[in-house]
Amino acid sequence: MLEWINIFTAEALKQKRSLTGLILVLAPGLMTIFNVLVGMGGYYGTKSSGAEIMKTVVNNSLNLWALIMLPMAMTLMTALNANVEYRNNQWKHIFVQPVSTWRVMMAKWMMNISMAALSHLIYFVLILFVGFFLCTINGQSFAGSLDYGLLFQRMSLVFLGSLLLITIHSLTALSLDNFLTVMAFGTIMMISNYFVGQSEKYGVLSPWAHPMRLQRFLMEDPHFWVLLAANLIGSSLLAAGIMKVLTKRQITA
């Protein structure tokens, strides 16, 4: 247990020397600026009630986040996290340390999950700020205009639905030592998901579509529990298994 704590602490300290910390704040920040500009452009209308404004803000914020910003941010964040080790052949230094290499790899995966969770929490708060700001400039009351529990539930489902996506990006970033290749993979998958994810038949097969489906349809989705289990259990099993394979092969920069 102590070794796990030490390894995870070391991973957290490494983030101070990388741009990953900036990404987890920048991604929700950019979405907030976009939502504010859209609202100030008259998208919500001056006659909209506070409840109507908040409903639109929440739906737009979560849909755009789950469909576009989340995959982009996770691709960049996992790529930067892995690049810390590929830069200057840091893997060779890790392999000679008296610690389990598999645990080091798993700690990197857990760090990506933790940073994603923090980014979602930041975005949750910023959505409330956007709603309050737009209600104010439109002369509507923010108080009582939002079901906070429902918003938190939907935001939590976006995060939980992204676990498999984050795991795949983490494994890709750790497997490939070329930053541009990792980014290209993430971009291609995000674009293809725009078409595949909208399919009722095949959308459920795309991990990039899970965050959107879970938060949008909630338990009304017939595949709700399957998707949730795939992300909660499947992501852990996939990470543990693939990391075991990665530790057995030589990783070179």
> What would the mean pLDDT of 108-133 be, rounded to a whole number?
92
Domain-located, residue 87: yes
> What would the mean pLDDT of 163-171 be, rounded to a whole number?
92
Domain-located, residue 11: no
> What would the mean pLDDT of 57-80 be, rounded to a whole number?
91
Q: What is the pTM of this model?
A: 0.88
Determine the Cα–Cα distance for residues 39 and 41; give it in Å rounded to an integer.
5
Domain-located, residue 92: yes
Q: Containing domain of residue 166, as a range? A: 48-247
166 or 199: whose pLDDT is higher?
166
Which segments of the chain does DSSP mark as H helices, in order? 2-14, 20-40, 50-64, 70-86, 90-95, 101-137, 148-161, 163-175, 179-196, 210-217, 224-229, 235-247
> What would the mean pLDDT of 214-225 be, rounded to a whole number?
80
Q: How confident is the model at residue 251, as a pLDDT?
A: 47
221: which DSSP letter?
S
Question: Is the pLDDT assigned to residue 45 strictly greater than 80?
Answer: no
Q: Give the least confident one: 9-18, 46-55, 145-154, 210-219.
A: 9-18
Domain-located, residue 126: yes
Domain-located, residue 19: no
- Number of domains, the chain: 1
Residue with token string 């950019």 = 30
Domain-located, residue 172: yes
> For the chain, first and last CA: distance in Å?
30
Q: How confident is the model at residue 86, as a pLDDT?
A: 72
Domain-located, residue 74: yes
Domain-located, residue 14: no
Of 46, 22, 241, the residue nearest 115 (C-alpha) = 22
Q: How confident is the model at residue 157, as a pLDDT?
A: 94
Q: How confident is the model at residue 253, as a pLDDT?
A: 42
